[in-house]
Amino acid sequence: MPPYTQDRSGRRRLAAVTLLLVTAASAMTTLTSCGTDDDGDGARSTSFTPRPTPPDTSSFSGTPPSAPASADASVRASASAAASSASAAASSFEASVSAETARANAAATAELKKVPGGGNARSDVSLTGKPRAQTGGVLAVVVNITNRTDGQASYAVQVDFADPSGKVVESRIVGAQDLDPGEKVQPLAISRKPAEPVLTPRVAKAQRY
């Protein structure tokens, strides 16, 4: 083969290899520029946007409350609030009753100071014993007061407690105000003396006014 033929074949191979190297270098440059960002000081850092993935529900525990369960809890809360309100109303009523009784007894005490004898209403008053099991062991009697007149009236009653010898060792005063005709009330006369000796209660004075 003539010498120029070898030269032409060699140059073709050299040109092909050079073209291949240039193409590879260009591809590497393109890949690098697409996959890196320059932060301005010569250093490069990888930049990419991760694709969001759904949460792994296998690690969850418990279940959200159902609508009926939530409604039932709301009903129970309302019932509890209503019960608390009723309890507060009952306490308020008891306090008002005690205050009314205290006022009636104070008025009765003041009225009996003006009565020299046994009063004008002994026939309208009677006593009934109350079991100690219902009073915490203290001596208490029910004072039955009935307005037997045709008009409105108030009453003041003194109950004496006497020992076995007949000696009065304690007196209690109860009252009732503004009773209508035929109306009956039953306040309590409570002794503060010890259970022994046994005391006997009796109506000492009863005044209608």
What lies within 8 Å, CB to CB, of 140 at 6+ separation is: 130, 188, 189, 190, 191
Q: Give the integer Cα–Cα distance in Å for 169 and 163.
A: 7
Give the model's pLDDT for residue 11: 57
E-assigned strand segments in 62-139? 125-129
pLDDT in tens, 16-40: 555 555 555 555 545 444 444 444 4
pLDDT in tens, 180-189: 999 999 999 9
Query: What is the pTM (predicted TM-score) of this model?
Result: 0.54
- Please check the confidence at residue 79 and state whether its pLDDT lies above 80: no
Q: What is the mean pLDDT of the chain?
A: 76
Peptide bond into 55 cis (omega under 30): no
Q: What is the residue type of 70? A: S
Give the model's pLDDT for residue 94: 47
- Please check the confidence at residue 159 and state whether its pLDDT lies above 90: yes
